């Protein structure tokens, strides 16, 4: 439910703070006082398109803040999906400046209007005098019916979704077979060529790296040879490193009779000379093996070119080409047995389609049963709302087994709401014949039947009582009370009857403050509520009007106690 609403610098409202109750909240006031602005502020904070013209003249920006409480698991799941903490309280703050730029925050964190609408659509349902546009969409009509129908339709839709998933899986498997026989044959030819090409290439992990090393040796053979030769000369030539080490060792040996340490040093030098000589031998071996085999060099270059071509065709690396080969073999094996596989899958598809069609029929049957009861109850409600000759029916689209490929998670076939307000007039589609006043009462009748079924916490009605009075106004007020026992209602009204049923009344007044005009909103206490009801009765608060207002309030209180 909407717990509170704070408004700053919107139109004629400089500052307003409203605390709403759980039941029926009624906003009243003179025409032009700013009642519609309150609902515009609610729309604004719910994520509606913003208009910079709503900023109060002379101010740089406006702000609207709304706090909601909720217990719907769907809201919790959505908040978790959006990485918000679900703590049973939700605060939305929206700002807009005179340049058309603004900000949206949910529990202090920035959000987009699209994200906000996803959440608020689960919290609030706004119904104004043009709300019939919602019910003109057949998809909305179907959704409303399914909500009313409850678990039988939900169970049938679950079966439809299950068979749709099976059907999709089978169709995917059929797609892997490559279409018709000609397409499969062409695909097999391509796969066999690719498999043959890759198998002949005999690809191995690490081969390319080894070939690159060999190619570098071939390409730089002279440079390597010169380096090895120079190194060998330093180590093994006359007077080179080895001769110097052995000469030093010999000189130390001559001193060994003076100290054992000289002998030890000589031995170390001789060991070093032996190690250097061994290294020199390996260098000579490298030089001997360095002769460039032109045929081998050409083979390395050709193999690297082959690998480059295969990498380009099969994924960019030797590893991906090897993986492609394995996958191609699997697909080839599947296609080589495609005739048998195709026959098996088409049989499975036919069986699943039969089940899916039966599930769609079951879903439609459940909807028709719910529709019959729902239409009867709405028609009864309309009778109490002074449309005694009204007829309301739901028409279902026809479909056959051949249409099963068009099935969605909503089943097959749509619905149309048909209505006739006058005796003798044929049923027609809702939007083609219903007037604004009739639509207001029709919507109220529908919402009266949805009370306790929907998880929405708040209904907002904008002058839904327009064009009615007397006995009908009383019935509307009573229905508001019934709905408000399960769902919070915030309603703008001009009728004393409606205002008398309210659990909380707000008065919207336009006043002049110095050289400025501003809209003020006040929560009315008991005596103030009586005076406002009296004003709504006849525009004055004389003794007669006050007595009449008191009678209406007592009558409303007795009715609410009887619920």
What pLDDT was estimated at residue 466? Answer: 67
* pLDDT tens figures, 464-511: 776 677 788 888 888 889 888 888 999 888 889 999 999 999 999 888
Distance in angstroms (rounded) separating the CA atoms of residues 318 and 331: 20
Looking at residues 253-273, what average pLDDT do you find? 86
Whether 516 contacts 495, CB under 8 Å:
no
Looking at residues 553-559, what average pLDDT do you find? 93
* pLDDT tens figures, 412-457: 999 999 988 888 888 888 767 656 566 767 878 888 887 666 667 8
**What percentage of the chain reaches a pLDDT higher than 90?**
32
Of 310, 336, 362, which residue constitutes the final position of a domain? 336
Q: Kindly state whether residues 472 and 544 are assigned to the same domain.
A: yes
Q: For 58, phi and psi rounded to 5 degrees?
A: 90, -10
Residues 296, 301, 307: CA angle, nearest 5 degrees: 125
Of 304, 336, 368, which residue constitutes the final position of a domain? 336
Going along 397-542, which residue ranges are E strands? 415-420, 428-429, 458-462, 488-492, 504-513, 516-523
- Asked if the structure places residue 390 within a domain, the reply is no
Residue-number span of the structural domain to which 497 is assigned: 1-123+456-563
Looking at residues 161-186, what average pLDDT do you find? 83
Q: Kindly state whether residues 321 and 207 are assigned to the same domain.
A: yes
Cα 8 to the chain's mean position, in Å? 32
Closest CA to 202 of 332, 303, 298, 297: 303
- Asked if the structure places residue 412 within a domain, the reply is no
Token output for 483: 């709905």
What pLDDT was estimated at residue 129? Answer: 47
Is residue 338 pLDDT above 80, yes or no?
Answer: no
Q: Kindly state whether residues 119 and 194 are assigned to the same domain.
A: no
- Asked if the structure places residue 166 within a domain, the reply is no
Token output for 539: 């525009």
Bigger pLDDT: 182 or 20? 20
Strands 124-127 and 458-462: parallel
Token output for 181: 């026989």
Q: How many CB atoms lie within 10 A of CB 392?
A: 24
* pLDDT tens figures, 282-323: 888 877 776 666 787 778 888 888 888 888 888 888 899 999
Whether 203 contacts 210, CB under 8 Å:
no
Q: Kindly state whether residues 224 and 326 are assigned to the same domain.
A: yes
Mean pLDDT, the chain, rounded, equals 85
CATH number at residue 97: 3.40.50.300
Q: Kindly state whether residues 101 and 199 are assigned to the same domain.
A: no
Looking at residues 268-293, what average pLDDT do you find? 81
Q: Kindly state whether residues 332 and 199 are assigned to the same domain.
A: yes
- Asked if the structure places residue 365 within a domain, the reply is no
Closest CA to 64 of 89, 85, 84, 37: 37
- Greatest CA separation for the chain: 143
Beta strands across the sheet bearing 124-127? 124-127, 458-462, 488-492, 24-29, 504-513, 516-523
What pLDDT was estimated at residue 461? Answer: 82
Q: How many CB atoms lie within 10 A of CB 260?
A: 9
Distance in angstroms (rounded) separating the CA atoms of residues 510 and 35: 10
Q: How many CB atoms lie within 10 A of CB 22?
A: 18
Residues 113, 116, 120: CA angle, nearest 5 degrees: 135
What pLDDT was estimated at residue 133? Answer: 53
Bigger pLDDT: 58 or 134? 58
What pLDDT was estimated at residue 95? Answer: 94
Whether 503 contacts 23, CB under 8 Å:
yes
- Asked if the structure places residue 386 within a domain, the reply is no
**What percentage of the chain reaches a pLDDT higher than 70?**
93
Q: Kindly state whether residues 198 and 324 are assigned to the same domain.
A: yes
Q: Kindly state whether residues 550 and 471 are assigned to the same domain.
A: yes
- Domain total of the chain: 2
- Asked if the structure places residue 5 within a domain, the reply is yes
- Please state the pTM of the whole predicted model: 0.64
What pLDDT was estimated at residue 128? Answer: 56
Of 311, 336, 361, which residue constitutes the final position of a domain? 336
Question: What is the full DSSP assignment across 199-257?
Answer: HHHT--TTHHHHHHHHHHHHHTHHHHHHHHHHHHHHHHSTTSHHHHHHHHHHHHHTTTT
Whether 486 contacts 541, CB under 8 Å:
no
Looking at residues 547-556, what average pLDDT do you find? 92
- Which residues have CB under 8 Å from 424's CB, separation 6+? none
Q: Kindly state whether residues 194 and 327 are assigned to the same domain.
A: yes
What pLDDT was estimated at residue 176? Answer: 73
Q: How many CB atoms lie within 10 A of CB 112?
A: 11
Closest CA to 8 of 67, 94, 89: 94
- Asked if the structure places residue 217 within a domain, the reply is yes
pLDDT band at 132 (very low <50, low <70, confident <90, very high): very low
Bigger pLDDT: 133 or 267? 267
Looking at residues 374-380, what average pLDDT do you find? 91
β-bridge mates for residue 509, sequence order: 520
Looking at residues 85-112, what average pLDDT do you find? 89
- Asked if the structure places residue 157 within a domain, the reply is no
β-bridge mates for residue 97, sequence order: 61
Is residue 16 pLDDT above 60, yes or no?
Answer: yes
Q: How many CB atoms lie within 10 A of CB 492?
A: 23
Q: Kindly state whether residues 210 and 320 are assigned to the same domain.
A: yes
Looking at residues 243-252, what average pLDDT do you find? 86
């Amino acid at each position: 439910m909407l717990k509170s609403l704070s408004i700053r610098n919107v139109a004629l409202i400089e500052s307003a703070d409203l605390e709403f109750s759980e039941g029926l909240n009624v906003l009243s006031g003179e025409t032009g006082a700013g009642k519609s602005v309150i609902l515009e502020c609610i729309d604004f904070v719910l994520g509606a398109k913003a208009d910079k013209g709503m900023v109060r003249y002379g101010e740089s920006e406006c702000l609207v803040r709304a706090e909601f409480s909720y217990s719907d698991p769907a809201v919790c799941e959505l908040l978790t999906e959006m990485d918000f903490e679900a703590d049973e309280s939700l605060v939305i703050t929206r700002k807009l400046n005179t340049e058309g730029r603004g900000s949206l925050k949910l529990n202090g964190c920035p959000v987009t209007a699209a994200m906000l609408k996803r959440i608020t659509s689960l919290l609030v349902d706004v119904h104004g005098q043009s709300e019939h546009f919602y019910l003109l969409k057949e998809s909305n009509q179907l959704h409303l019916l399914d909500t009313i129908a409850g678990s039988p339709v939900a169970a049938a839709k679950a079966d439809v979704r299950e068979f749709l998933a099976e059907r999709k899986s089978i169709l995917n498997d059929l797609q892997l077979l490559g279409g018709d026989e000609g397409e499969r044959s062409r695909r097999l030819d391509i796969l066999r060529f690719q498999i043959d090409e890759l198998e002949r290439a005999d690809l191995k992990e690490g081969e390319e790296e080894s070939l690159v090393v060999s190619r570098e040796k071939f390409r730089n053979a002279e440079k390597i040879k010169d380096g090895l030769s120079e190194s060998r000369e330093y180590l093994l030539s006359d007077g080179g490193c080895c001769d110097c080490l052995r000469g030093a060792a010999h000189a130390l040996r001559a001193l060994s009779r003076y100290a054992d340490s000289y002998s030890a040093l000589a031995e170390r030098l001789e060991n070093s000379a032996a190690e250097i000589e061994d290294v020199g031998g390996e260098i000579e071996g490298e030089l001997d093996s360095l002769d460039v085999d032109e045929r081998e060099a050409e083979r390395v270059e050709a193999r690297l070119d082959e690998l480059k071509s295969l990498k380009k065709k099969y994924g960019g690396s030797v590893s991906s080409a090897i993986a492609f080969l394995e996958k191609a073999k699997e697909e080839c094996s599947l296609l080589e047995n495609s005739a048998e596989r195709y026959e098996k899958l088409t049989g499975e598809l036919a069986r699943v389609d039969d089940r899916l069609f039966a599930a769609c029929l079951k879903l439609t049957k459940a909807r028709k049963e719910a529709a019959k009861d729902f239409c009867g109850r709405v028609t009864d409600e309309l009778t109490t709302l002074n449309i005694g000759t009204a007829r309301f029916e739901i028409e279902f689209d026809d479909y056959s087994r051949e249409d099963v490929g068009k099935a969605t998670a909503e089943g097959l076939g749509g619905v149309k709401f048909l209505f006739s307000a006058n005796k003798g007039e044929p049923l027609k589609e809702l939007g083609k014949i219903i007037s604004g006043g009739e639509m207001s009462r029709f919507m109220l009748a529908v919402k009266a039947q949805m009370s306790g079924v929907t998880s929405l916490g708040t209904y907002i009605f904008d002058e839904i009582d327009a064009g009615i009075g007397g006995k009908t106004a009383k019935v509307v007020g009573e229905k508001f009370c019934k709905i408000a026992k399960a769902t919070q209602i915030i309603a703008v009204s001009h009728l004393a009857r409606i205002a008398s049923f309210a659990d909380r009344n707000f008065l919207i007044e336009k006043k002049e403050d110095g050289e400025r005009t501003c809209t003020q909103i006040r929560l009315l206490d008991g005596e103030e509520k009586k005076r406002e009801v009296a004003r709504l009765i006849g525009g004055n608060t004389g003794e007669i009007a006050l007595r009449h207002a008191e009678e209406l309030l007592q009558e409303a209180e007795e009715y609410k106690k009887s619920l």
